[in-house]
């Protein structure tokens, strides 16, 4: 048995590659090498699922409570439910475990949790800060509304903006509950005073309502923000992608979300690419031949057929209608990209693509992708491939 110097990251990684070849471990994203007691390097299964086999080929040190004496080499079970194949095993092994774990944990924790859009924070912060223009009143307002922590420093507007950002990042509070309570008196109290003051108040209320509406939100009596916590397709997909190894799909999803307002054409392009990416991953993982036409409809046809989603093969007429609509959604998104998006050149009179059009395409793509992933996993469970 080869002696391994566990104070050398390279030797530890090299030995893990050797036992990967023997089948003792899997090329899994969850297997990491991190530095621990006595600055030695240790293999760790971040899911605590691998068996810990005592190692007999490492140097022991009697100092520091004989920490390395508990050194082990992992053994991955064949039916591990957490197995996620790494694209590059060595690179995956040596990433900083603490940093990666923190990012994944935060992503899982916040996935599916709706946040106040940044433009809404900017407008509400400015309007509320200028309306009250009193630090004592603002401190009381935010604290009583459930905003966490001590009041941020700075001007009234800056205080409101930063406090709302903090609300967004704190998993212990519901951002839209806090936002609703902050806006309650401002949106509902009767307007009194001189005419010009009432005019400003009315204008600012419309401004708040307008920015909320832009993001599918609305204020309702009693401090309720409707639309902030609904299970929109994008939120459902965000939650699914946070726990699955679908890097290319996730990249296109993020590109679509990032550009829906500032560049709707790019948002549509990304929505189409998101479907194409998932189809290509499915075809590759299932060992299927690529179609002659590698456009969105050609790829979707292969996936649909392999998953058993052909409406002609289903007897339930309601399901047939929905699946037929999914095919139409796919075709429509592909056509919209061809005619209007950033992926192709445009003529003299380009179509005026607006954020609402991009949102329609993105939500349609998200619904389709979520359904395919869930159907794919359901089939694997039936086959006993996952538990």
Decide which of 318 and 370 is more confident.
370
pLDDT band at 112 (very low <50, low <70, confident <90, very high): very low
Give the number of other Cβ atoms within 10 Å of residue 132's Cβ: 18
Residue 171 predicted with pLDDT over 50: yes
pLDDT band at 344 (very low <50, low <70, confident <90, very high): very low
Segment 314-326 shows an average pLDDT of 69
What is the C-alpha to C-alpha distance for residues 125 and 183, in angstroms, rounded to an integer? 10
Domain boundaries, the chain: 9-110, 118-226, 233-382
Q: Report percent pLDDT > 70 for the chain.
A: 77
Quick: pLDDT tens for 221-245.
788 786 554 335 555 676 677 667 7
Cβ atoms of residues 299 and 330 within 8 Å: no
Quick: pLDDT tens for 32-90.
888 776 677 889 888 888 888 888 787 655 554 444 556 888 999 988 888 888 877 88
Quick: pLDDT tens for 175-207.
888 999 999 999 988 876 666 677 888 899 999
**Angle in degrees, CA 1, 57, 47, rounded to 5:** 110
| Model pLDDT, residue 126 | 94
Q: Which of 254, 259, 233 is nearest to 107 (CA)?
A: 254
Q: Rg for the chain (alpha carbons), in Å?
A: 27
Cβ atoms of residues 101 and 46 within 8 Å: yes
Which runs of consecutive H residues, i.e. helices, occur in the chain?
Answer: 9-21, 89-94, 97-110, 118-132, 135-144, 156-169, 175-188, 195-214, 233-241, 247-259, 264-285, 296-306, 317-340, 355-382
Cβ atoms of residues 216 and 116 within 8 Å: no
**What CATH code would you report for 233-382?**
1.20.120
Largest Cα–Cα separation, the chain: 89
pLDDT band at 350 (very low <50, low <70, confident <90, very high): low
User: Going by DSSP bridges, is the β-strand pair 41-45/31-35 parallel, antiparallel, or unpaired?
Assistant: antiparallel
Beta bridge partners of 219: 225
The SS3 of residue 28 is strand
pLDDT band at 217 (very low <50, low <70, confident <90, very high): confident
Residue 105 predicted with pLDDT over 60: no
């Amino acid at each position: 048995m080869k002696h391994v110097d566990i104070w050398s990251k390279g030797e530890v990684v090299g030995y893990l590659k050797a036992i990967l070849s023997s089948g003792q471990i899997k090329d899994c994203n969850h297997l990491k090498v991190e530095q621990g007691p006595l600055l030695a390097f240790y293999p760790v299964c971040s899911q605590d699922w691998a068996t810990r086999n005592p190692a007999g080929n490492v140097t022991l040190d009697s100092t520091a409570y004989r920490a390395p004496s508990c050194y082990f080499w992992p053994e991955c079970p064949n039916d591990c439910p957490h197995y996620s194949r790494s694209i590059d095993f060595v690179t995956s092994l040596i990433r900083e475990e603490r940093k990666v774990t923190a990012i994944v944990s935060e992503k899982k924790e916040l996935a599916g949790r709706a946040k106040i859009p940044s433009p809404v924070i900017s407008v509400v912060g400015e309007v509320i800060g200028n309306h009250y223009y009193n630090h004592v009143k603002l401190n009381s307002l935010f604290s009583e509304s459930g905003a966490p922590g001590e009041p941020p420093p700075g001007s009234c507007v800056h205080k409101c903006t930063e406090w709302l950002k903090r609300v967004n990042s704190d998993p212990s509070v519901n951002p839209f509950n806090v936002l609703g309570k902050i806006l309650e008196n401002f949106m509902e109290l009767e307007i009194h005073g001189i005419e010009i003051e009432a005019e400003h108040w009315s204008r600012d209320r419309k401004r708040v309502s307008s920015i909320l509406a832009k993001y599918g939100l609305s204020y309702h009596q009693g401090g309720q923000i409707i639309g902030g916590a609904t299970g929109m397709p994008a939120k459902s997909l965000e939650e699914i992608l946070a726990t699955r190894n679908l890097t290319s799909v996730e990249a296109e999803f993020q590109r679509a979300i990032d550009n829906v307002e500032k560049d709707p054409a790019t948002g549509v392009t990304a929505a189409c690419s998101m479907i194409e990416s998932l189809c290509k991953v499915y075809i590759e993982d299932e060992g299927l031949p690529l179609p002659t036409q590698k456009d969105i409809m050609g790829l979707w046809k292969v996936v649909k057929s392999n998953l058993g989603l052909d409406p002609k093969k289903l007897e339930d007429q309601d399901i047939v209608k929905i699946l037929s609509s999914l095919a139409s959604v796919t075709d429509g998104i592909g056509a919209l990209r061809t005619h209007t998006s950033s992926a192709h050149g445009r003529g003299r009179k380009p179509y005026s693509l607006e954020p609402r059009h991009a949102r329609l395409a993105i939500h349609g793509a998200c619904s389709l992708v979520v359904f395919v992933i869930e159907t794919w996993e359901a089939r694997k469970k039936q086959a006993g491939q996952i538990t």
